[in-house]
Amino acid sequence: MKKKSTGALAVLLLVGVVMVYPLLWLFLATFKDNAEIFGKLSFWPEKFSFDAYVKGWKGIGQFTYTDFYLNTFKLVVPSVLLTVASTGIVAYGFARFKFPGKKPLFALMLSTLMLPDAIVIIPRYVAFNKFGWVDTYMPFWMPALLACYPFLIFMLIQFLRGIPRELDESACIDGCNPFTIYVKILFPLLKPAIFSVVIFQTMWRWNDYFNNLIYISSVKKYTLSLALKMSIDSQGASTPWNQVMAMSLISMVPPILLYFFAQEYFVEGVTAGGIKG
């Protein structure tokens, strides 16, 4: 038995090394200069230089990565907050109330879960274009405000169903209205699920590239993903790879930090809903 578990551990370690190697290598490569990256195979940099970070941060033209970072936050943070507020209310409605047309509406919501993005993209773009929202962050904030994330709603509904109904009734016996029941009683109990919503939505919005690409056109409003893409395009053959790598790494920091701090909720959420990568 002992022997077997050592074997398994060895395999796990080996797979782990292969998995992490690219990321570790990326980390170390950001301290090298371009010649060293291409010239040698050495894993460890000859000397640690922060040159790539300093130069890379200057960005493109008049805009630095400070702008791109702030833009990304401007896009992501309101989207996440609005999503939490809106999906919570919608889930509460579906989980706790009876209203005419509830069944078909619920079915409709679930069916949008199956609809591939490819279908929605063009009409949505056309509509947002008509509203004059292209090249603003509205195409990201508005769907969040209107709870256009059926998966997250579904996850919250499932969670709400697990909270006994008597709780909200008895705890608020002295005349709470449905809204205060939600805010005072249910919302605190929903915390773990809300965390999952925050995490998923942050990761999705942060990593998203396609929507950024089609909706944001002026460099002033570029987010990190657009800036990174531009940095590999603009310089052609002489791309300063060490700078690009350094900026890529920096762009991954917030999601990774979030993951390490909220890991429990993360794994819980993934298992609860089972989600695409």
Partner 1 sequence: MSLYYSFTDFSILSDGKWVGLENYTRLFFEDKYFWKSLFLTFKYALMAVPMKLIMALFVAMLLNMKLKGINFFRTVYYLPSIMGGSVAISILWKFLFMKEGVINKTLSLVGISAVDWLGDPDIALVTISLLVVWQFGSSMVLFLAGLKNVPTELYEAASVDGASKVRQFFGITLPMITPIIFFNLIMQIVHALQEFTSAFIITNGGPNHGTYLIGVKIYEDAFKTLKMGYASAASWVLFVIILMITMFVFKSSDAWVFYNDGGMDG
Helices (H), the chain: 2-29, 34-39, 51-57, 65-96, 102-114, 117-130, 138-145, 150-161, 165-171, 178-180, 187-189, 191-207, 210-215, 224-234, 241-261, 263-273
Out of 112, 129, 170, 234, the residue judged to bind partner 1 by CB under 8 A: 129
Binders of partner 1 among 137-196, rule CB under 8 A? none
CB of 261 to partner 1, least distance (A): 12
Does position 8 interact with partner 1 (CB under 8 A)? The reply is yes
Does position 245 interact with partner 1 (CB under 8 A)? The reply is yes
How many residues form the binding site for partner 1 (CB under 8 A)?
A: 62
Does position 116 interact with partner 1 (CB under 8 A)? The reply is yes
Cα 198–Cα 202–Cα 206 angle in degrees, nearest 5 = 180
CB of 186 to partner 1, least distance (A): 26
118 vs 116: CA distance, rounded Å: 5
Binders of partner 1 among 188-217, rule CB under 8 A? 203-204, 206-207, 209-210, 213-214
Q: Say how many CA atoms lie within 13 Å of 237 toward its Cβ.
A: 0
The phi, psi pair for 95, rounded to 5°, reads -80, -30
**Contact positions toward partner 1, by CB under 8 A?**
5, 8-9, 11-12, 15-16, 19-20, 22-23, 25-26, 38, 41, 114-123, 125-126, 129, 203-204, 206-207, 209-210, 213-214, 224-226, 228-229, 232, 241, 244-245, 248-249, 251-252, 255-256, 259-260, 263, 266-267, 270-271, 274-277
